[in-house]
Structure 1
Amino acid sequence: MSALNKMMGYLGLVDTDEQAQVEGTPVRATDRPARDVSRMSRDRAGVTVVGSTVAVAQSTQPEVNYHIITLQPRSYSEARKMGEHYREGNPVIINLDDMEESERKRLVDFASGLVFGLHGRIERVSHKVFLLSPANVNVSSEDKTAAAQASFFNQS
């Protein structure tokens, strides 16, 4: 086999099995020609399965009562507790009145990242009170007002 024929075979321009037979080299009996997969898929395209049924999945969302968690962190180290409650799917209200300005910014940044990562929402309820609601929870404006008043007057 010449170098030109080898190169043409490598590039797929010439079938190497045909070259082997032409040159007199016998092809082994264990070598099988490749099946044409595209022909097989075309043949199956016209096949219809009789008696098959298609199940339709219907989403039934049970009414779930969520526990709204109210936190009044005093330092950034309490961010983990807030994250754990939120990750469990509970709405979290954080009152940042007792925090220093620098730690308050860090906690709001953490909460924003947490909400973004879990596809939820963060909303300012009042000046230093935020509501973190998971993606599967809808909060009406009445609920936000009630939550803000509850967290503001709860000084425990």
Structure 2
Amino acid sequence: MGSVRKASAWLGLVDDNEDERYYDDDYAEEAESADAWVTDPRVKVASDTAEDKGRRIGTVTPDSFRDARVIGELFRDGVPVIMNLTAMEPADAKRVVDFAAGLVFGLRGSIDRVSTRVFLLSPADTEIVTGDPGAHRSDGFFNQS
């Protein structure tokens, strides 16, 4: 399978089982050994060792409002969630943001906009550290020119 075809299959643009003569067995073994994927391939969560140390972040790219349940389940378990709503229709994306706002209000978390239509949902015990340029320290690096 060519690299463009592999990338298209990985993105879900084409069916990767259409042409078996180009099937790469090494690629299949790597895909089977990747245990970081949860049931839905649009949701990726860290491995069990990261879960034990409390270092997990979930990323969800929902297709419709029905995928909001996945966001809620991850956040309810105390996992920070990055919601990428760029693939959704604007009306459904607004519904998911409203759902997320209620979710973080009910569980005393916070919601932050990362970029256009991408949001970070943080549980109550998570500290968000920003790299704002206005927060320079006096003993840090600076331009002397």
| TM class, shorter-length | 0.5 to 0.7
Q: CA RMSD in A?
A: 1.5
Residues of 2 paired with 1:125 and 1:106: CA distance? 18
Other-structure match for 1:114 = 103
Q: Deviations over 1:49-97 (max 9, x none)?
A: xxxxxxxxxxxxxxx5330000110100000010000000000000000
Task: Decide which of 63, 78, 82 is 1:74's aligned counterpart.
Answer: 63
Specify every segment of 5 or more residues in structure 1 that has no aligned partner in the other structure, as ranges. Answer: 1-63, 143-156
Contact 1:95 1:129 in 2 (8 A): yes
- What CA distance in whole angstroms lies between the structure 2 residues aligned with 1:116 and 1:105? 16
Greater C-alpha Rg: 1
Identity of aligned residues (%): 52
For 2:117, the equivalent position in structure 1 comes to 128
Q: Which amino acid aligns with 1:81?
A: V
Secondary structure of 1:123's match? strand
Q: State whether residues 66 and 91 of structure 1, in contact with CA within 8 Å, keep that contact through their aligned partners in structure 2.
A: no
Amino acid at match of 1:122: I
The one-letter code sitting in structure 2 at the alignment partner of 1:72 is T
- The separation in 1 between residues aligned to 2:119 and 2:70, in whole angstroms, is 15
Deviation at 1:126, TM superposition (A): 0.2
- Distance in 1, Cα, partners of 2:129 & 2:99: 24
Moved over 4 A (4+): none
What is the CA deviation profile of residues 94-145 of structure 1, one whole-angstrom value per residue up to 9, with x for unaligned ones?
0000000100000000000000000000000001100000000112125xxx
Structure with greater proportional helix content: 1
The residue type equivalent to 2:93 in the other structure is: R
Q: Distance in 2 between matches of 1:74 and 1:140?
A: 29
Match of 1:12 in 2: none
Could you tell me which runs of 5 or more consecutive residues in structure 2 were left unpaired when the two chains were aligned.
Answer: 1-52, 132-145
Determine the C-alpha separation between the residues in 2 that align with 1:122 and 1:139.
Answer: 10
Paired positions, count: 80
Per the normalisation by structure 1, the TM-score is 0.49
